[in-house]
Structure 1
């Protein structure tokens, strides 16, 4: 075996001696030449000696915990422990390649998760591997893209700390997963839902959700001090979510743009006034057992409402209204689509929904219905049809008047 040694650039703008090996003198010299060429381009030699699993643990405990929301950090931790560490954890961080990641993702795409993670053994009635018939339950493209994004985030921080020269996960293309297709509520379905909600103790909440497109956490985190019923406005300052450490607690809004002030329609102001009168009656009935949380929408004893509880109320309301099954978040999609059908500009919808970028409003929430497409096609047909009968415009006499082009 042949050995070649030389000095290359190291983190901190220093130099260090490295050694490479080969079965022939030519192979060892080629490896050293490649290392020196990379160093001459200003790329420092990697200093990481540990495994990918060790670095992911360090990244979760010392970096991600301070940069992510608690629920997001919990999802990242579950992704690392369930997929990244078992699949790539034994690889050296400095020697991880794009080929390793691509091969692992391709294998993960066709692997049954019941078999790989032993989920069938913990079920009361085994129905997959334990009975000898594999269900072939593989991960969805959206889950694979999420796993890939977590790995990219961790390796990106390793590049910033000069542990590795480049983020090899960026060289792997997983493809854009196809978003879930769904149909938002039409205007008739929205009126049908509001009719069924009439008389419900949370009628004002459903009315507000359809008219403003607020998120579930923003609705549950709304306080009376945030409402100006005289001026007809509401200030969105917080979101109510359940976390592992603090339970049901108020957190800052999803993004800086989500902290906003919106106008309230007259119907919402009327329903909020009725809701406040009902809440005062519930407070008198509860007496000393009333929990003064300050939230607009509470339980009968004044305590804040869980998100899962609101989902159950919403599903019951859908059954009563005889509407198709949708998510509560789909009311937000429905609001954006209905506003777009009424000719409201995208920038106004963006400010109402609290999006940071107008592209999110245009691509995700504004679903153009068939009626809007037909109106656009009819408008274009009207314009093209008028070209045949357009009168020639008089010229100054120097040139002949332009003739309209006949379109067949």
Structure 2
């Protein structure tokens, strides 16, 4: 009677769907099986190990992941190839032109040189962390070989590195671009997870700004009163409109009888179209605001001046319907507005600030007067009230001091108030009550 012999380890019988495991001629073990692929299809994969147990464990893990409905990654190319595809086929249709230009520069200058050669499917959080740490400590003059285009080297080529490093805000921006690209790769089932989200870079401090005080704001308006664009400066300071929103404002957007303005577009310079009217920054930026009476009067005077310029230009007048235009009716370049704004600051004897700081000045002055945060959020056109609260946190600290002082006066008993007991001499001076 013949007896059955046990099968060899390489030929053990496995259940249907468990895949196969066998030893290769080179001594390694190979396991193969079918798993879920993108598009709800099945795909045969192969994994390898130095032992049968190792190869079988790898295959079992992938089959278990597939049974949970997670498809196997299909990405075979490099990070560089995917970033190029993402910019040309995806981001170009989802982003504004200027934003897409900044994303392209970020990818070409930082992402592709640092991570471009790695396989997309094998990119790990450790790779991203190592690259960010290296980027944080690298001199940008040395990395970009800036000395090659200079008549006289003054950095690494001269033997004295200037240590020009990227700011925390720039690092956070580069990291966010990578996260956006990998997030789309996850949605297209090219990879199973976004490894860039597992890397924490810390929250960078927001850019510091110094808004105008109430006295400086009055001084600025006085210096700009005889300026051709006085109505623009007053509207910017009293309503907090963005530069592009002011330059893209048209007469049809204004209702001077009822004192309202509809913000529908913004004027920006793009590489392809030059000065172009685009939709507002966000959906929340498209809003309707109330105009102060001072702005209504200045806008009426500005319209009379513009009518005079129209008659003087005659056939050379370009009718764009813009509220603020050049003497020939064309749109005002944002760079030219910056130069005019600096000239007004110099005439007023004020420190140099950005035009955008007029917007910060509006919000700061309103907060100091006790205006509710939600009202300021609607006036400025922020998408979320958290943005308003974060940007103007320094003002809210002062309002907290006012509230604490008010509470301190309330809690003092009548005896201390009438006898003049010096109980609160160590407290800061009381500020006006917060409404």
Same fold (TM over 0.5): yes
Equivalent residue number for residue 238 of structure 1: 265
Aligned to 2:73: 46
CA distance in 2, matches of 1:289, 1:14: 65
Q: Distance in 1 between matches of 2:37 and 2:30?
A: 20
How many residue pairs are counted as aligned between the two chains? 390
- Report the secondary structure of 1:368's partner residue: helix
State the Cα deviation string for residues 225-269 of structure 1 (Å, max 9, x = none). 111111111111110001111110100111111111111111111
2:412 match: secondary structure: helix
Give the greater-gyration-radius structure (CA).
Answer: 2
Match of 1:72 in 2: 99
Q: How do 1:17-36 and structure 2 match up within 5 A?
A: 17-36=44-63
Return the match for 2:399 from 372, 383, 386: 372
User: 1:127 aligns to what?
Assistant: 154
Matched, 1:313 2:361: no
Tell me how far apart the structure 2 counterparts of residues 65 and 2 of structure 1 sit (CA, whole Å): 45
Structure 1 residue 386 displacement after superposition: 4.1
1:58 and 1:261 map into 2 onto residues whose CA distance is: 39
Deviation at 1:366, TM superposition (A): 6.0
The yes-or-no answer on 1:152 pairing with 2:179 is yes
Relative distance call for 1:275 and 1:125 in structure 2 (3 A) is farther
Q: Does 1:337 align with 2:364?
A: yes
Moved more, 81-90 or 279-288: 279-288
TM-score, normalised to structure 2's length? 0.86
1:31: how far off?
A: 2.2
Residue number in structure 2 paired with 1:361:
388
Residue equivalent to 2:306: 279
CA distance in 1, matches of 2:174, 2:66: 32
3-state SS in 1 of match to 2:164: coil
Q: Following the alignment from structure 2 to structure 1, what is the Cα–Cα distance between the partners of residues 101 and 186?
A: 23
Measured in 1, the distance between the counterparts of 2:220 and 2:397 equals 22
1:225 has 2:252 as partner: yes
Is the aligned partner of 1:94 residue 2:126?
no
Secondary structure class of the residue paired with 1:136: coil
Deviation at 1:370, TM superposition (A): 6.9
User: Is the aligned partner of 1:37 residue 2:99?
Assistant: no
CA-to-aligned-CA distance 1:357-393 (integer Å, 9 cap, x gap): 111112114641775344222112123334999xxxx
Of the three residues 261, 268, 273, the one matched with 2:295 is 268
Q: Deviations over 1:166-190 (max 9, x none)?
A: 1111111111111122221111111
RMSD: 1.8
Gapped runs of 5+ residues in structure 1? 390-408
> How far is the alpha carbon of 1:290 from its aligned partner?
1.6
TM-score in terms of structure 1 length: 0.92
1:2 Cα deviation from its structure 2 partner: 2.2
Work out the CA distance in 2 between the residues paired with 1:192 and 1:40.
71
| 2:274 matched residue in structure 1 | 247
Runs of 4 or more consecutive aligned structure 1 residues displaced over 6 Å after TM superposition: none
- Tell me if the contact between 1:333 and 1:366 (Cα under 8 Å) persists in the aligned partners: no
Among candidates 193, 206, 223, match of residue 196 of structure 1: 223
- Aligned counterpart, 2:430: none
- Hey, what does 2:9 align to over in structure 1? none
| CA 369–315 in structure 1, closer or farther in 2 if over 3 Å, else same | farther
Shift of 1:110: 0.3
Q: Give 2:82's aligned residue.
A: 55
1:301 aligns with 2:342: no
